[in-house]
Amino acid sequence: MADVIRAGLHMLRMKQSERNSPDELALRQEESLARLCAYASAHVPHYRKAGLRFRSMDDLALLPFSTKESLRSNPDSFLSDSFRGRPLEKISTSGSTGMPVSVFQDGRESDMKLALEYHQLTECGVRPLQRQAHHTYYRLEPRFAQKLGLFRREYLSFYDDDSVNLKKLRRMSPDVLHGYPSYLAPIALTNMQGNYGVRVAKVFSSAELLSDASRKIIASSFGCDLRDFYGSTETSWIAWQCERGSMHIHSDSIIVEIIGPDGEPLPHGKFGEVVLTPLWKRVMPFIRYRIGDRAALGGQCRCGRNTQTLLPIQGRNDDFIVLPSGKVRSPRFVDLCLRPVPEIRLYQAFQPEPGRLQLRIVPSGTLGRGAQQKIMRNLKKSLSEDMKISIEIVDDLPRGRSGKIQSVVSKVKPDFGMGGADG
Residues that bind Zn ion (CB under 5 A): 242, 244, 246, 301, 303
Cβ of residue 17: shortest distance to Zn ion, in angstroms? 15
In angstroms, give the least distance from the CB of 108 to Zn ion: 29
Closest contact distance (angstroms) between CB of 301 and Zn ion is 3
Nearer to Zn ion, 25 or 301 (CB): 301
Give the containing element (helix H, strand E) for 413: none
Q: Which helix (H) or strand (E) holds 278?
A: strand 272-278
Q: How far is the CB of 215 from Zn ion (least distance, A)?
A: 18
Minimum Å gap between C-beta 232 and Zn ion is 21
Task: Identify which of residues 4 and 124 has a Cβ nearer to Zn ion in the complex.
Answer: 124
**CB-CB contact of 348 with 395 (8 Å):** no
Nearer to Zn ion, 97 or 306 (CB): 306
406-to-12, 16, 96, 133, 278 alpha-carbon distances in Å: 39, 39, 7, 27, 26
Question: 238 vs 376, which CB is nearer to Zn ion?
Answer: 238
Q: Coil, strand or helix: which one is 383?
A: helix
Could you tell me the CA-to-CA distances from 253 to 41, 250, 288, 390 in Å, in that order?
20, 6, 14, 46
The secondary structure of residue 295, as a DSSP letter, is E
Laid out side by side, the sheet with 254-259 consists of: 66-67, 289-295, 272-278, 254-259
Closest CA to 228 of 273, 180, 265: 180
Which residue in 192, 291, 184, 188 sits closest to 236, CA to CA? 291
Maximum distance among all Cα pairs of the chain, rounded to whole angstroms: 62
Identity of the residue, 19 or 244, whose beta carbon is nearer to Zn ion in the bound complex: 244
We find the least distance from the C-beta atom of residue 278 to Zn ion, in angstroms, to be 21
C-beta of 250 vs 282, nearer to Zn ion: 250
- Indicate the residue among 295 and 337 with the shorter CB distance to Zn ion: 295
**Whole-number minimum distance, CB 304 to Zn ion, in Å?**
7
> In whole angstroms, how close is the CB of 288 to Zn ion at the nearest point?
26
**How far is Cα 251 from Cα 240, in angstroms, rounded to an integer?**
11
Q: Do residues 63 and 56 make contact, with C-beta atoms less than 8 angstroms apart?
A: no
Q: Rank residues 85 and 304 by Cβ distance to Zn ion and give the closer one.
A: 304
Q: CB-wise, 49 or 244, nearer to Zn ion?
A: 244
Q: Which of 310, 313, 272, 304 is nearest to 22 (CA)?
A: 304
Angle in degrees, CA 395, 400, 403, rounded to 5: 85
Q: How far is the CB of 271 from Zn ion (least distance, A)?
A: 20
- How far apart CA 82 and CA 24 sit, in angstroms, is 31
To which H or E segment does residue 310 belong? strand 309-310
Q: How far apart are CA 326 and CA 21, in angstroms?
A: 52
